[in-house]
A and B are shown apart, each in its own frame.
Chain A
Amino acid sequence: MIHHVTALGRRGCNLLEAMGRAGIFLAQSAVGVPSKEGWTLWLRQMHFVGVLSLAIVLVSGLFIGMVLALQGYTILVDFGAEQALGQMVALSLLRELAPVVAALLFAGRAGSALTAEIGLMKATEQLTSMEMIGVDPLRRVVAPRLWAGFVALPVLTIGFSVVGIYGGYLVGVEWLGVFEGSYWSNMQASVEFVNDIGNGMLKSLVFAVVVTWIAVFQGYDLIPTSEGISRATTRTVVYSSLAVLGLDFVLTAIMFGGLS
């Protein structure tokens, strides 16, 4: 019994210690004035985590919008309220699905790659040799990746929403025959820019910070062996998915649940 309590305590201490390390790590790398050089590095990472993730995010967004419209229509038509389809598709995408699903896709597509890349740089002593050359790898390697993630995910989320709403339009209006005018006007009457779009973007920004932070920290903190890299990559995907879903509940409760 005592043994188990001790083990629990030790795990708790380890967890706290890791979180402290991660916090210091974030503070040290994300803060600082970027140089001209840093701008180029950031650009390169934007290409990697943003542009190259665009295709998968847009395709997923299209399908999710189409499925939403299909499911929503079959439910709404029972109440004779199929004109409300636009509003349903838009609100579910903007408030929930776009930030969450884009963040999950981002964790799988870009987050795991970030972990593996930094992990490999650590395993091949590239980070150490950079330090010995007198360049801080936190600033040179980690910071551009963090900032690229912070910017890229909200942009991807916008793309996801737009394509999803268009997918809903394709299925709802073009296929199922919802009146086009009511699809858009119901949507416009119910979607508020600050409350719905703004809060959705805020969620997405929070997810961006959390996912990129976890990915980059896992890469930087891993045990530099091939097993260590594979474990850290898995941890990145698992931790960031859980963090996104958990935080989503908290944020939703604060933003839309009347807790504020």
Chain B
Amino acid sequence: MFDNYSRGAQAMSESPFVVVEGLHFSRGDKDIFRGVALQIPRGKITAIMGPSGTGKTTLLKLIGGQLTPDAGRVLIDGEDVHRLSRKALFAVRRRMGMLFQSGALFSDLNVFENVAFPLRVHTDLPDAMIRDLVLMKLEAVGLRGARELMSSELSGGMARRVALARAIALDPELILYDEPFVGQDPISKGVLVQLIKRLNDALGLTAVVVSHDIGETLSIADYVYVIADGQVMAHGTPKTLDVDQDPRVNQFVHGEPDGPVPFHYPAEDYFSDILREGGVR
């Protein structure tokens, strides 16, 4: 185990890697974010949590510069993502890896070529070197033996691990995980949790995990932001959140079906709805 205290102290002394300030974003008439502000510290695992439909994936897309906010800004290592030219933006993106919910492997390439893809397009390394690097990354996710398979032949968990190998192929400084645990069986979940933790420890990556799987996420996160209703509802270390007194946070962290976040979609009174005359709709 690493010496967590010294490492933590060192990381905190540096400026945060990602800063989000006063972020507003709406899609159509619906406000998704109303003034979200957060800081992602260097070399740590930061979790962004919240109920489904609160725009967690949208937040990642805003950080990655794929969407433009209505107001506010996103700084990555001091650079405002949304003010960069297309070329500079792509240069910043080379320093990030992103793990998509679906894996998003290229369906016309096999596992090896998928992982080799970022290396081939961004470096001029000779083939032998690329091969070594790819095998190294595949070994890290335990799929060195599956290198010849096509992406359609992989199970969901394997596809996500290959995608992880691809995301770390260029040794990024920041890695964004979009719902890494969704739809995985307990074994794959455990594998992924371990992988994320190990990558972070071994490579010193800054990681952002977007998820609503509370148990898995809280077990590896150093810091947690809870987002609901377009705002940051609470933030803190997993320990402080666990005992947070806010009823909404409490409901989410402990997974209670009804509470301040209602079980029912907004509707008129059940009784009067049923007894409405005519009985149509």
Can you list 29 A-B contacts (CB < 8 A)? A120-B107, A121-B106, A124-B102, A125-B100, A125-B101, A125-B104, A126-B105, A128-B61, A128-B66, A128-B104, A129-B98, A129-B163, A131-B66, A131-B93, A132-B64, A132-B66, A132-B93, A132-B96, A132-B98, A133-B93, A133-B117, A133-B118, A133-B121, A133-B166, A134-B91, A134-B93, A134-B94, A135-B121, A136-B86
Taking the closest CB of chain B, its distance from the CB of A144, in whole angstroms, is 12
For chain A, what secondary structure do more than half of its interface residues adopt (helix, strand, loop), or is it mixed? helix
1/0 per residue, CB under 8 A from A, across B59-83: the answer is 0010010100000000000000000
Q: Which residues of A contact B121 (CB under 8 A)?
A: 37, 133-135, 140
Q: How large is the interface on A (under 10, 10 to 19, 20 to 34, 35 or more residues)?
A: 10 to 19
Q: Which residues of B contact A140 (CB under 8 A)?
A: 121
Taking the closest CB of chain B, its distance from the CB of A212, in whole angstroms, is 19
B122 within 8 A of A: yes
A136 touches B104 (CB 8 A): no
Taking the closest CB of chain A, its distance from the CB of B108, in whole angstroms, is 8
Contact of B100 among A37, A128, A135 (CB under 8 A): A128
B interface residues with partner A (beta carbon < 8 Å): 61, 64, 66, 86, 90-91, 93-94, 96-98, 100-102, 104-107, 117-118, 120-122, 163, 166
B106 touches A136 (CB 8 A): no
Contact of A124 among B91, B97, B98, B104 (CB under 8 A): B104
B107 touches A134 (CB 8 A): no
Taking the closest CB of chain A, its distance from the CB of B64, in whole angstroms, is 6
Taking the closest CB of chain A, its distance from the CB of B185, in whole angstroms, is 21
Taking the closest CB of chain A, its distance from the CB of B230, in whole angstroms, is 23
B107 touches A121 (CB 8 A): yes
Provide the bound-state CA to CA distance between A124 and B91, in Å: 24
Given A121-B107, A124-B107, A126-B107, is A136 in contact with B90 using a C-beta cutoff of 8 Å? yes
A129 touches B104 (CB 8 A): yes
Q: Which residues of A contact B101 (CB under 8 A)?
A: 125
1/0 per residue, CB under 8 A from B, across A189-233: the answer is 000000000000000000000000000000000000000000000
Known: A134-B121, A134-B122. 17 other contacts (CB 8 A): A121-B107, A124-B107, A126-B104, A126-B107, A128-B61, A128-B66, A129-B98, A129-B100, A129-B104, A129-B163, A131-B64, A132-B97, A133-B166, A134-B90, A135-B90, A135-B121, A136-B90
Q: Which residues of B contact A136 (CB under 8 A)?
A: 86, 90
1/0 per residue, CB under 8 A from B, across A129-159: the answer is 1111111100010000000000000000000
Q: Which residues of A contact B96 (CB under 8 A)?
A: 132
Provide the bound-state CA to CA distance between A245 and B66, in Å: 38
Name the residue on B nearest A129 (C-beta).
B104
Q: Which residues of A contact B64 (CB under 8 A)?
A: 131-132
Q: Which residues of A contact B107 (CB under 8 A)?
A: 120-121, 124, 126
Q: Which residues of B contact A125 (CB under 8 A)?
A: 100-102, 104
Provide the bound-state CA to CA distance between A125 and B160, in Å: 13
Taking the closest CB of chain A, its distance from the CB of B6, in whole angstroms, is 33
Provide the bound-state CA to CA distance between A140 and B64, in Å: 19
Provide the bound-state CA to CA distance between A124 and B101, in Å: 9
Q: Which residues of A contact B93 (CB under 8 A)?
A: 131-134
Name the residue on B nearest A35 (C-beta).
B121
Provide the bound-state CA to CA distance between A132 and B66, in Å: 8
Provide the bound-state CA to CA distance between A131 and B96, in Å: 11
Provide the bound-state CA to CA distance between A124 and B90, in Å: 21
Name the residue on B nearest A135 (C-beta).
B121
Provide the bound-state CA to CA distance between A120 and B106, in Å: 11
Q: Which residues of B contact A124 (CB under 8 A)?
A: 102, 104, 107
Name the residue on B nearest A132 (C-beta).
B98
CB-CB nearest 9 A-B residue pairs: A129-B104, A125-B104, A132-B98, A134-B93, A134-B94, A134-B90, A125-B100, A133-B118, A126-B104
Q: Which of A95-136 contact B (CB under 8 A)?
A: 120-121, 124-126, 128-136
Provide the bound-state CA to CA distance between A159 and B120, in Å: 37
Taking the closest CB of chain B, its distance from the CB of A24, in whole angstroms, is 13
Provide the bound-state CA to CA distance between A140 and B97, in Å: 19
Taking the closest CB of chain A, its distance from the CB of B146, in whole angstroms, is 19
Q: Which residues of A contact B104 (CB under 8 A)?
A: 124-126, 128-129
- Which of A37, A124, A130 has the most B CB atoms < 10 Å from its CB? A124
Taking the closest CB of chain A, its distance from the CB of B266, in whole angstroms, is 25
Q: Which residues of A contact B106 (CB under 8 A)?
A: 121, 126, 130
Provide the bound-state CA to CA distance between A139 and B97, in Å: 20
Q: Which residues of B contact A132 (CB under 8 A)?
A: 64, 66, 93, 96-98
Taking the closest CB of chain A, its distance from the CB of B55, in whole angstroms, is 16
Provide the bound-state CA to CA distance between A70 and B166, in Å: 60
Name the residue on A nearest B178 (C-beta).
A125
Provide the bound-state CA to CA distance between A131 and B118, in Å: 11
- Which of B61, B106, B117 has the most A CB atoms < 10 Å from its CB? B106
Provide the bound-state CA to CA distance between A133 and B91, in Å: 10
